[in-house]
Structure 1
């Protein structure tokens, strides 16, 4: 199904890029540096004209705000809100409201659970809290490169079921401390200064990961562990290309050499790792922190994950072992294929945009 969409470059501040959905129609904004853009959106670019058609405001089915609200809000809770761009975007929203058309706003990044000062828009976010979700909030995946294509030579590596499950994790996990408590106080102070809801500490995910990993490591009779625990995000913070590549290779190797991989929220209430795990055809151990996942009305997420409520972390090893014991050798192999298929068909950029119209046909 092809949707007619409208947006307006006049509401895109100079030097800023539009939301990726609009790249195929405003090709002058496609980054000249193809990595990582081409790895994330290349296939979407190839099929975009069969999915969307740029048209006038009067003829449009949907209107797309040209800028991601993340640019306005900033990348983290420490960021200052860009009032100038916010004012321009609200002006665009008012123009759309007067037309009676449905407005779509994309809000990615670590602050994406926050409210925005635009009424009656459909907001595609990477995260919300289930207990506070609004009717107009739609959860979208965090797009990741195709790990099988980019790192595994295009061939998915399958694992056969062993007696005990191998649980993997490579990444940041830090125990609770007075330093984290102090940073949380500073976070709450910053939220009050911005007149925003206090929210959940951005350090919660690091602490929960540490708790879960500790329980798993102390349960050798139930699970085997394959952990590489870091105290800083090497991949994101380093400018050294060789070091980044080494860190990425280590990360992918850890996923591929594990049966199940721990997936827990980061600074925001979502996990990029979840989509990377599925891309590899591996089974996530998903820690539910009042989360909403993409397409929950269609996808039975508990079929693809070992589902652990946050309060069940003390029993995570038993839960993983129980899941593993209750699945046959063939079902274990099949589930790896199904995880990969789910990512390709619905959670990759091309899968998400191919199914974009379903979010509106169900309203």
Structure 2
């Protein structure tokens, strides 16, 4: 039977939002920051080649309000990773993370991501090079294994070698990656999660900071995991239903009150206005807001207006205001009905 322990004092890694390709761009991260002042945010994975040779102003720029924010890198050449880490630190990122978990074919062909679970010595060499290059923390996000690997062996060996190289924090997606025959989407649900293995890793390596990831859909679940590990990373739940982050500071960090979706829209609206003035397209920002009112009156209308009107040429703040007016009106009706029911009782 698994034993539980007292929930540790919260730090930034107590609750983080996963790096998600095509989702956690700088606009998304600002929206998430309006909901939680303390959760750690991650960029999408950027390859070392993109960081070293690409348009840094476009790829690496972020708003100061995003802190704490980590840069996730993809690569397997120690020298390249060290250089990319130095660039990330110079840009102001609070942490540099190495992706050892992405299962996509494109990533595998570049010899990084989850396939590196088969080369733990190389991963440790990469982490040592990155750690020597920067002063900010360097961390690993990994799977428990790939394909026919024994997770008890693959995970613990990777962690041991990287710890010897100076890594103190590991984010573990508690599921194997099956690199042959499954798409990245299927790899998010198959094979089954093995949370107890990650809990055991923390028990056996109390000196390390262990963050668990994979299939965690609520703050109730997050709080249960925090009795066994140091942190929880939310992925799709945070993106598709971002309002879940509005209770993070109060419930996980024990500081501040809850932030409701209406307050988040008000805060994000100012950011949207500034980005529109710089030439950004409205849909690039509102696409991250679609699930904000999930489960509340008007959620469908909210999504429809943002989706249909937000992509039109010249679309501006009036689209957000129109969608919000519908949701606000239905919310007011719901409250009024509740008051009437209370008076009748």
> TM-score, normalized by length of structure 2?
0.28
> TM-score, normalized by length of structure 1?
0.27
* Bigger helix fraction: 2
Query: Which protein has greater RCO, CA pairs closer than 8 Å, 6+ apart?
Result: 1
